[in-house]
Structure 1
Amino acid sequence: MSSRDTSRPVGTVAVWGTFDLDNFGDHLFPRVTEQEITRRLDGWRVRPFSPFGAEHPCRMDGGFIAEALGDWSPVRVEQLAESADLTLIGGGEIVHFQDELLAGAYHTTPQVLAGRAPSRFFVDGLGDYEKDHPVVWNAVGIPFVPDAEKAGMIKDAVSRREYTAVRDELSLERLRACGVEGDVALVPDLGFLLDRLVDPKVLDERLRYLKFMGWFPNDRPAMVVQANRSAVHQVAGIAKVLDWALDEGIVGDVVLMETGPCHGDDLFADALQQKLPTRTVHRLPGGQPPEDILAAIWGSAGVVAMSFHANIAAFVYGKPWVVLDLSDQSKLRALADTMGHPDQRGTDEDTLANAIRAAFGREPDPERLRGLQAKVDAHFDRIAELAMRSWQERGGDAAARIADLTRQNNLLRQANQQLRKRQIAERRVLVDRVEETRDELDQLSARWNAAVDEINNRYQHDSKELQALQNTKLIRWSQPLRSVYGRIRRSGS
C-alpha cells in the first residue's frame, strides 16, 4: 500500500474468529464488535473473517456471514493485511494449536483443517505486517499452556503488539507461563455488552414468536436448561435435581435450549426430556439465531446452563443463573468468579442443588455488571484509538473524512426537509380523510338511532295490539277449548 492512499474514505476493522460454527457465543463476538466499533468510529466497516466463512454455512448466523480466511499462506496474509487498518482476533478460546479439535464441528477432516491452519492465523496474526497494521487479541481465552515451541510462538506474537487483552486471570496466568512479561489487559468477555445488542422491543417480539411456535410457555414461568453431549451420561442426576427444584418452589415449566448444535446439545436435550416425564417440557430447536436465544433467556425465570454465554446473558438481563460445570472446566470456574458468585456453579448433584438454591434466592447485581461493562468499554476505546491512528498513518485523511461527513449531514438535512414536507402533505390528506370518516360515522349513527327508534315504536304498538286482543271475550271464552285441542294433538302425535 502506498504511503498516501486516499481510495478509502473510511477505515476498516477486520475481526477474525470461528464465526462460521453453529455455536451461540461465536455469533455474538462479531455482532458486539461491530456495534462497539461503529459507535466509536462512525461510518467504519467491520469485516468478519472465519476459517471457512460462507463455505461452511450454518443455521445460526442469522444472515451475518463471515468471509473465509482461506488456507494459510504468505500471499493470503499479505492480502488480509492490505484489506483493513486494524485486525481483532476473537473473542472466545481460540488461542491454541489443537486445530484437529475443530474438525468435527466443521464436518471435515483434520488434514483439511491443517491446510486452513486457523491456529496460525489466530496466534501469529499478520506476522511481519504488524509493523504497519495493529493486531489485537479481542479479550480472548487461552484454554491451556502449549509445549515450549508453541509457547515461544505465543510469546513472540504478544511481544510485537502494542496492546493485548485476555478475558480472565487464568488466561493471563497461561500467558505468563508462555514467557510473556509485558502488560496484558484483563478485559471481561464481550458478552457483558449484550444488553446493547438487541432492543427490548425486539426481544419481546421474538419471545411472542417463540410462544406462538409452542417452544416457550405462554402463561407460566420458564426455567431454561442447556448442556451438550458431554453431560448425557449424567442426565439422570440433573433431572433429579431439577425435579427437586421445581417441587421446592421454583414454579414453572422447563425449556430445553440448544446453544451449540455443533457440540451435541440436541443429544442432551433428548436424554433430559425422557427423564422428566411428569413435567411440562418445551424445546427450543437447535439452529435458532442469537436473537431467539437471547429472547428465551430474556423471558425466562432463570437459566441452568453449561453455555458460557447463556450464563452471561442471564447475568446481563438480571435473571438467576447457574453454571452447569460437570466437567470442572477452568473457563466456567473463571466465569462464575467474574460474575461474583462462585457458589452458583454446580459440579455434581449436591453442588448443583446448592447453586440453584443460591441463584434463585438472590437479587440481580447491576453494580457489578456496570463495572464489567466499563472495562469492556475501555477496551473498545483503546481499539478505536489504535484503529484511527493506523488509518491515518496508512493514508486516511481526517480532514477529508470531516468534509465527507459534512456532505452526508447536508444530504441528510435535505432528505429530512423533504420528508417533513411529505409528512405535512400526508397529514393534510389524513386529516381530511378523518373528517370525512367522522361525517360518515355521524350519518351512520343517525340512521342507526332512527332505525332503533322505529323498531322500538313498532314493538310498543304491536305489544298494545296483542294485549288488546288477549283481553277480548272470544279469546277468553275459547281458552278451555283451545287447551283441550292442544292436548288431543299432542297425544295423537
Structure 2
Amino acid sequence: MNNIGLVDCDGLPRQQFLQTREMNTSDSNAMKNQRSWRIGIFGTFDVQNYGDLLFPIIAELELSQRLGNIELVPFSYHAKSSQDWPYGVESLADLPRMASGLDAILIGGGFIVRFDKFIAPGYEPPVAWIQHPTGYWLTPALLGAQHGVPVIWNAPGMHCNDIPSWSHPLLSLALECSTHIAVRDEPSKTALMPFVDPQRVHVMPDTAFSIRRCLKSHSGTDEADAILKYLGLKTPYIVIQATQNLERFTDYVKKFRVELPNLSFLLLRLGPVLCDHESFIDADLPGTFCLGEWPSPMALASLISGSEAVVGHSYHLAITALSCGIPVFSSSDLSQGKFTALSKYSSVHPLPPAGCEDPEWLSQRIGRKEPSQLAIEANDVLENYWDHVADMVRSGKTDSMVVMNAFWMSLPGILERESRQAGATRSESPGELQDFEARLSDSKNLLDAAKTQLIDASERSLELEKRLLEMQESISWRMTAPLRSAWRWVQGLSI
C-alpha cells in the first residue's frame, strides 16, 4: 500500500522532506551569517547638509557593532560616488530593481516626512515618474512592504503641513505594514497617529544624540585636528553657523569684545544647500576663522564637539553640542515643530537680548561640561533602539506582502470612490472661481435679455391676436368670405 498522503509534491517521503528543508534553512542562515546584511536607508543624503549626512554614518556604526558585516546602502534622488562624497549614494531611480535584495529598510531620519514641494533650491527627482517629495520616504516604505522587507522608521520628523487626502490610503498602508515606527518629536507623532494604531508610533530622540559615542570610533577627529592646525586656531572657540539672523549675537560680541580676549569664533557652513555662507556674518567680527572647503560631516561634528559653545538655528548643530555637553545659543523658536524636542534642555539659550548691556551675559553661559542627564538618557534610549533594530533585521522577512496584495485588490475601488467624491466636492482655485463667476454673470445677463425679448414678443403676439379677432368679427369680413373661398378654390387650395 502506497502512503500517498506522506509524500510531498517533490516526491520525497514526508520525514525526509522535513529533514531536507531543515538542512536548507540551516544552510540559508549560515549563508546569511557569512554574507553581509544589506540595509537600505532613505533620505536626502545627496545634499550638503550636516544633519542629513549624519544618519547613514551613525546607522552603519551602530548596526555593524551589533550585526557584524553589514552593507549600508543610502538611497536619495541622485547617485553620489564615495570618491567625491562622504559615502556612496544610490539613486532612487534604481530602487525598483534593488528593493528585493534588501534585508531591511530605514526611513530617515531627518525632516523628511512631508508633502510640500520646496525642500531646497532646485532639489527635485532625477526622473519624472518619482513623485516629489514622497519619493524618498513614502514609496520606499511601500516597496519594502511589497517585498516583505522589515521597514523601520528611523526617527524622522514630520513637516507640519497638511497631509493631502490622496495620500491617506498610501500613508495608512505604509505605516500598517511597517515593522517599527519611531519619530523624533510629539508634533510628528500627532500628525501620524490618525493613520495607524497610535500605540505603534513611538517618540524617541533623534539618532544624532549618539554622536559623541560615534566620534570615538570615527576618523573625523583626525580631519578636524588637521583643520584646526591649518587654521592656526589654538585658543578656545565658539562655533557660529554661517547663516542669517544672528546679529544680536555678533552685535553683543563686538560691544564686549575686550571682556572676551581669549575667545575665537569659527564660522561653519552647516547647510550649504540651504544657502549657508560666511557673508551673512558681520565681517567686522574680530577673531573669526572660516574654512575654505566644506569638510566631512564627522569632521564638522568633531569641530563642534571641541568648541565652548555653538550659535545658530541648525537642529543638528544643537543636538551635537548637547550630546557633548556644550551650551547652545539658538535663534529658533523652541515652541514650534521639531525644535520642541530641545525645549527641555536647560543649556539651550536664546540669543542675547537686543541691546544687552551685561558684559558677563555670555561668559556666564559658555564652557564645555559633562553632558546633562537628559542627554545621557537620550543616548541610553538609542542604545536600546539600535539593539531592537538589529533584532528586527535578524528576524528576516515579514508577512506584509499579504496586506499589500489585499491593498492592490482594493485599489480600483479606492480610486473609484475618490473619483466620485472628487466630482461631488470638487473645489475650484480662486482663479477658477472668478472665471466661473464671470461666466455665470454673463449667462444671467443673456437670460435677462432673452426674458425681456420674450415678454415683448408675447405682448406683440397678444396684440396681433386681438386685432385678428376684431377683424374676423367685423361685417366686412363676413361679407367678403365667399370671395375669399372662391379665390382659394381657383388657387387649388381647400377651405
Measure, in 1, the Cα distance between the counterparts of 2:129 and 2:253.
Answer: 42
Equivalent-residue separation in structure 2 for 1:105 and 1:184 (angstroms): 33
Q: Secondary structure at the match of 1:115?
A: coil
Residue-by-residue CA offset, 1:248-292 (whole Å, 9 max, x unaligned) = 5584111111111111111xx21314242xx12111245211132
Deviation at 1:24, TM superposition (A): 0.8
Match status 1:226 vs 2:241: yes
Unaligned runs of 5+ in 1: 395-493
2:306 is aligned with 1:288: no
**Inter-partner Cα distance in structure 2 for 1:128 and 1:313:** 33
Superposed counterparts of 1:39-438, under 5 Å: 39-54=65-80, 61-62=85-86, 64-70=87-93, 76-77=95-96, 79-98=97-116, 100-102=117-119, 104=121, 106=123, 112=127, 115=130, 117-127=132-142, 130=145, 132-149=148-165, 150-176=167-193, 181-199=198-216, 202=219, 205-214=222-231, 217-218=233-234, 220-228=235-243, 231=244, 234-244=245-255, 246-249=257-260, 251-266=262-277, 269-276=278-285, 279-325=286-332, 330-337=337-344, 340-341=345-346, 344-346=349-351, 349=354, 359-360=365-366, 363-390=369-396
Cα shift at 1:169: 1.4
Provide the C-alpha distance between the structure 1 equivalents of 2:190 and 2:317, rounded to a whole number of angstroms.
25
Residue 38 of structure 2 is aligned to residue 33 of structure 1: no
Cα distance in 2 between the residues matched to 1:189 and 1:105: 27
1:207/1:299 contact within 8 Å kept = no
Contact 2:307 2:368 in 1 (8 A): no
Bigger helix fraction: 1
Deviation at 1:393, TM superposition (A): 9.8
The sequence identity of aligned pairs, in percent, is 23
Relative to structure 1, the CA distance from residue 250 to residue 146 in structure 2 (aligned partners, 3 Å threshold; closer, same or farther) is farther
- Partner AA of 2:306 in structure 1: G
Q: Which amino acid aligns with 1:96?
A: R
Offset, 1:92: 0.2
**2: CA distance, partners of 1:40 / 1:200:** 14
1:167 and 1:156 map into 2 onto residues whose CA distance is: 21
TM-score normalized with structure 1 length: 0.66
User: What's the CA shift for 1:191?
Assistant: 0.7
Q: Which amino acid aligns with 1:242?
A: V
| Secondary structure of 1:47 counterpart | strand
Q: Is the 8 A contact 2:120 2:274 kept in 1?
A: no
Pair 1:274–1:348, CA change in 2 (3 A): same
Deviations 1:462-493 (A, max 9, x none): xxxxxxxxxxxxxxxxxxxxxxxxxxxxxxxx
The question of whether the paired residues in 1 share the 8 Å contact of 2:183 and 2:189 is answered with: yes
Instruction: In structure 1, give the amino acid aligned to 2:89.
Output: A
Paired with 2:261 and 2:333, the residues of 1 have a C-alpha distance of 22
Q: Distance in 2 between matches of 1:201 and 1:155?
A: 38
For 2:216 and 2:58, how far apart are their aligned partners in 1?
13
**How far off its partner does 1:298 sit?**
2.5
What is the alpha-carbon distance in structure 1 between the residues aligned to residue 276 and residue 79 of structure 2? Answer: 22
Give the 3 Å change call, closer, same or farther, for CA 329–287 of structure 1 in structure 2: farther
Q: Structure 1 pair 344/154, CA: closer, same or farther in 2 (3 Å)? A: farther
How has the CA–CA distance of structure 1 residues 318 and 164 changed in structure 2, closer, same or farther, with 3 Å as cutoff? Answer: same
RMSD over aligned Cα atoms: 3.6
Q: Is the 1:321–1:359 contact (alpha carbons within 8 Å) kept by the matching residues of 2?
A: no
Secondary structure of the 1:94 match is: strand
User: What's the TM-score once normalised by structure 2's chain length?
Assistant: 0.65
CA deviation map 1:368-406 (0-9, x unaligned): 222101111221111111110116999xxxxxxxxxxxx
Unaligned runs of 5+ in 2: 1-20, 401-495
